[in-house]
Structure 1
Amino acid sequence: CVSALMLIVFQALLGMWTVTWLLKPIVVMGHLIGGLSSFALLAWLALRSHGWQAQADETLPGRGLVISGLCLLALQIALGGWTSANYAAWACGTDFPSCLGQWWPTTDFREGFVLWRGIGVDYEGGVLDGPARVAIQLAHRLLAVLVSAQLLVIAIKAMRLPVLRRYGLTLLAALLAQLTLGIANVKLGLPLTVAALHNAGAALLLLCLLALLARISPIRRIESPAR
């Protein structure tokens, strides 16, 4: 597939720029998004090629809901990459659900979400001050609540249909595991194993939604014109 090849080539370029541009956050975040996009594209092609689709006599609801869930999840994954790239994952210390002993500490959202700061800055260890990193961390937490609510609705609706029950149960289990890993990341001080599992959890949620979307989406067949 040409699109998959182009994505992989661009991903390789992002890997090079991650080093040559001294861990620039926008590139590091893009590298993460590129990797998961490659995974999602290959997973979608595999699902569709193995017959994961609605049957001709099936009318399965919820396609728009699942697509919106995918969009929210993609945004949260990008924000997670931005959090990691700016060394903001531990901006609140080990406090959860509070942050630095407060429910809403001093934040600087404008500084925290400057995407481009020029070439030549060494970003190892981060360049943002405390309030900017706190802003990123709080944004990641707040969006996690919204994403979780959306995925919970999708899981419940899927479980109500016998043909989709296993998809809903799997999505619910993956969501609970991901939330647990996210909280553990903070409370345990970002151990490498938990952080890696948190990344894997994001990929698993992505796969669950793609599998559900593939199952409820019929394949459009293009009829050849009559001769």
Structure 2
Amino acid sequence: MDYPALLSKLIRLSIGLTLVVIVLGAYTRISDAGLGCPDWPGCYGQLNVPMKNDEIMRASALFPGHTIEPYKAWLEMIHRYVAGSLGLLIAAILVVSFKVPNIPKAWPSALALLVVFQAALGMWTVTLKLMPIIVVLHLFGGFALLSLLLVFYLVSRAYCQRQNNKVINDGCQSQENLSYQGLHSASSLQKMGWLSLSVLIVQIFLGGWTSSNYAALVCTSLPLCEGDWWQAFNLSGAFTIFQHPLLMNGNSYEFGVLDYGSRMTIHLVHRFGAIITAITLLFFAWQLVRFSSSRTLNRAAWSLVGLVVLQISLGIANVVMHLPVILAVGHNLVAALLLLNIVFICTQLRLSYRPKVIGQATNHIQMRMITKPSHNTEQSKLSK
């Protein structure tokens, strides 16, 4: 059986399914269906949504005070079903990866552990009643899983191709194809890539924090909030990571518990972060186009430009149109695609930079072995 090909297909399928899970999670959250099922992993004490009269009566008895909304409950359960399918795919990747030699086993092991932790976060999201920090960590878990899957795909492909003495298409492992200024430029691009990734991660956190605290609709004007916003600006209140349960509305954090000033601050910081992120990513794309002669990296750079422009447009549209669900979900999806793009570029830069250094060291050693006479040769010359 061709295990490398099977592994590659499983990883690609998992990447696609992870994007679906992220979109479903965003749709569930934005539709206020995060507590559509107040328990976990079932829904009102059963594996499916209660629909029949006797099921609804039993669910009402088990969870008094909860209004059973089948549509929201189905949104939550479909999200769980698809996430569970993704977990099974990751388990299959872990098993198959141990059948493929010469690939690092740490990556699939990390993926399996992350899936388990992500399931725990999903449970805590429900049991802790949408506590904002748990919601954000759950979002981060999905994005981290997506990134790790892509890195594992690229790394495993590179290992297999090196083992078979093949060259990656587009010469991504060749430093000469990467840059016309040699190793120094490649190193600079790597550093810029890591900076861009870090800035993007911070911005994703700010977006998740805005959503989980229901601060997306606090400011409805552009470019800043309406009124004397600076008088209500409150950084300390906006970024209280562990909000006390006594602040909950009724019995949950749904619809937010922070005051106007704190939510307005979160929203504005997210906007300021968007400006910084856009400038950083566009500068990185320009550097890639300028210094890289790799067609793959150049296409990725132009894709990055397009995604940044699209994301800014979606952000503005969400404010102007008061957060329509489809645009808000699209905003989440494009954030995931931006992360995929940056992770792809950083990984390709890493894979292309290391072989050149290793190759130079290997050539240096080989030249020394050729030019340096062996001990036996010297002995034979002396005997003569």
Give the TM-score taking structure 1 as reference length: 0.90
- Residues 29 and 78 of structure 1 are in contact (CA less than 8 Å); yes or no, is this contact kept in structure 2? yes
Identity score, percent: 39
Checking the alignment, whether the CA contact within 8 Å between 1:95 and 1:101 is kept in structure 2 is no
Distance in 2 between residues matched to 1:192 and 1:113, nearest whole Å: 25
AA of the residue aligned to 1:117: Q
Shift in Å, 1:23: 0.5
**CA-CA distance at 1:2 after TM superposition:** 1.2
Match of 1:188 in 2: 321
Q: 2:302 aligns with which of 142, 147, 169?
A: 169
Aligned-pair CA distance for 1:165: 2.0
Which residue is equivalent to 2:347? Answer: 214
Matched with 2:90 is none
Q: Which residue of 1 aligns with 2:235?
A: 109
What pairs with 1:24-173 in structure 2 (closer than 5 Å)? Answer: 24-51=131-158, 54-58=172-176, 59=183, 60=186, 61-92=188-219, 94-101=220-227, 104=230, 106-119=232-245, 121=248, 122-160=252-290, 161-163=292-294, 164-173=297-306
**CA, structure 1 residues 181+154, in 2 after alignment: closer, same or farther (shift >3 Å)?**
same
Change in Cα spacing, 1:165 to 1:56, as seen in structure 2 (3 Å) is: closer
Distance in 2 separating the partners of 1:47 and 1:56: 15
The DSSP-based 3-state class of the residue aligned with 2:351 is coil
More displaced stretch, 42-51 vs 177-186: 42-51
The amino acid across from 1:55 in the alignment is: Q
2:270 aligned partner, one-letter code? H
Structure-2 separation of matches of 1:182 and 1:218? 34
TM-superposed deviation, 1:50: 3.1
- List gaps (5 residues or longer) in structure 1: 223-227
Aligned equivalents of 1:102, 1:145: Cα separation in 2: 22
Bigger Cα Rg: 2
Distance 1:167 1:138 in 2: 30
Query: Alpha carbons of 1:69 and 1:130: their partners in 2 closer, same or farther (altered >3 Å)?
Result: same
Distance 2:332 2:307 in 1: 12
Q: In the alignment, is residue 21 of structure 1 matched against residue 128 of structure 2? A: yes
Q: Which moved more, 1:134-143 or 1:95-104?
A: 95-104
Check the 8 A contact 1:56/1:218 in 2, yes or no.
no
Cα distance in 2, alignment partners of residues 154 and 25 from structure 1: 32
Three-state SS of the structure 2 residue aligned to 1:42 is helix
- Does structure 1 retain, via aligned residues, the 8 Å contact 2:210–2:267? yes
Greater RCO (Cα-Cα under 8 Å, separation 6 or more): 1
CA distance in 1: counterparts of 2:276 and 2:202, whole angstroms: 11
In 1, Cα distance between equivalents of 2:208 and 2:263: 13
Question: Who is 2:362 aligned against?
Answer: none
Q: Structure 1 stretch 75-84 or stretch 154-163: which is displaced more?
A: 154-163
- Aligned partners of 2:323 and 2:175: how far apart in 1? 49
Note the C-alpha offset of 1:158.
1.1
Q: How many Å separate the matches in 2 of 1:110 and 1:31?
A: 23
CA spacing shift, 1:165–1:118, aligned 2, 3 Å: same
TM-score by length of 2: 0.55
1:112 to partner: Cα distance: 1.1
CA distance in 2, matches of 1:8, 1:206: 19
Describe the SS at the equivalent of 2:241.
coil
SS at match of 1:50: helix
Range 63-72 or range 109-118, more displaced: 109-118
Give the structure with the larger helix fraction: 2
Residue 118 (structure 1) shift = 3.5
Q: 2:119 aligns with which of 3, 7, 12?
A: 12
Contact 2:218 2:264 in 1 (8 A): yes
Number of equivalences: 222
**Is residue 224–residue 268 contact of structure 2 (8 Å, CA) maintained in 1?**
no
